[in-house]
Structure 1
């Protein structure tokens, strides 16, 4: 049973559904394993709990 783990920002339920579907289907196709065998874990992280280099993510300006 492959496990896909995603660490990222807070997401809506709809975003999580799309993410799980996309990752599971893609991994299933690439690995040749049934999509039902895939497990996806989403861990939401607040920007003030994440650092990039020596800067907190909440202090990094978003690129648009």
Structure 2
């Protein structure tokens, strides 16, 4: 079970569909593994839950 994990802020449903489709196609083309074998996990982290350089992203 090959898997792809993508961490990002919020995405729309349409953006998620595009991410899953394009990442799967690319990974399959590069590895030769059938698209049906791939799992794609999208982890959404709101800006208020992420800090960079000692500051919350929601405060930047």
- Whether these two folds match at TM > 0.5 is yes
How many matched pairs?
60
| Matched position secondary structure for 1:6 | strand
Tell me, in whole angstroms, the C-alpha distance in 1 between the residues paired with 2:56 and 2:41. 24
Confirm whether residue 22 of structure 1 aligns to residue 22 of structure 2.
Answer: yes
Name the structure 1 match of 2:35. 35
**Stretches of structure 2 lacking an aligned partner (at least 5 in a row):** none
In the superposition, the TM-score normalised over structure 2's length comes to 0.90
**Stretches of structure 1 lacking an aligned partner (at least 5 in a row):** none
In the superposition, the TM-score normalised over structure 1's length comes to 0.85
Tell me the CA shift for residue 55 of structure 1: 1.6
